[in-house]
Amino acid sequence: MRAKSRFSWIRRQVLPIIVSVIVVVFIRGYVAHADVVPSGSMYPTIPATSSTHFSVIVVNKLATELGHIHRGEVVVFYAPDHPKVLYVKRVIGMPGNTVTVTSHAVYINGRKLNESNPDIARWNGTALGTYHVPPGHYFMLGDNRPISDDSRLWVHKYVARSAIVGEANFIIYPLNRIGPISQSVSKPF
């Protein structure tokens, strides 16, 4: 009788904890996780300005694993020059594109990109040029372009598809900015 009581206690108390841990590990590894954004390169889309005024975002891993990556999508990826560091930027150049960044515009294959999303800076800073995106890679820009450490400045300019972790979907901190992250260069939502 005592052994049966002990087994019942384990089943009621310990088993739910074990199942919960397994579910959390699965979700974090394959579905979604939270990430801290400590810089202003995506400001104001992601309202972080420094490591002391950071934001926390939800990264949807399934969005990029099951769906296609598209221009304007905000993604989290391993930085090409620092493969253990995660960055968050907006996809601008797709595989095979030629991207030209001028002081006040971005051109894709010679056509001006409609960047009417009000959260994207109107001035691109001083890192200007033309870039040819290789197959299987993407060209990334931060929304706060004058200060963004992005494809224009990296030694390895392009992000491999395999380095993309997921789509930055939602801001969960700061609390006054909770909400979805725009996945478009031409409109907020």
| Within a domain: 188 | no
* pLDDT above 90 (res 155): yes
Q: Do 100 and 154 belong together in one domain?
A: yes
- 16: number of Cβ within 10 Å: 10
**pLDDT, tens only, 56-111:** 999 999 989 888 999 999 999 999 999 999 999 999 999 999 999 999 999 999 99
**pLDDT, tens only, 113-143:** 999 888 899 999 999 999 999 999 999 999 9
Q: How many structural domains compose the chain?
A: 2
The residues assigned a catalytic role are: 41, 89
**pLDDT, tens only, 3-41:** 666 667 667 776 677 766 666 665 666 667 888 999 999
Q: Do 15 and 91 belong together in one domain?
A: no
pLDDT at 92: 98
Radius of gyration in angstroms for the set of CA atoms belonging to the chain, rounded to a whole number = 20
Q: Do 5 and 91 belong together in one domain?
A: no
The residue among 58, 6, 19, 61 whose CA lies nearest residue 37 is 58
Note the Cα 110 to chain centre separation in Å.
Answer: 26
pLDDT at 19: 67
Domain containing residue 12: 1-30
Strand, coil or helix: what is 22? Answer: helix
| Within a domain: 185 | no
Supply the CATH number for residue 141's domain: 2.10.109.10
Quote the tokens at residue 56.
Answer: 């926390």
189: confidence class by pLDDT, cuts 50, 70, 90:
very low
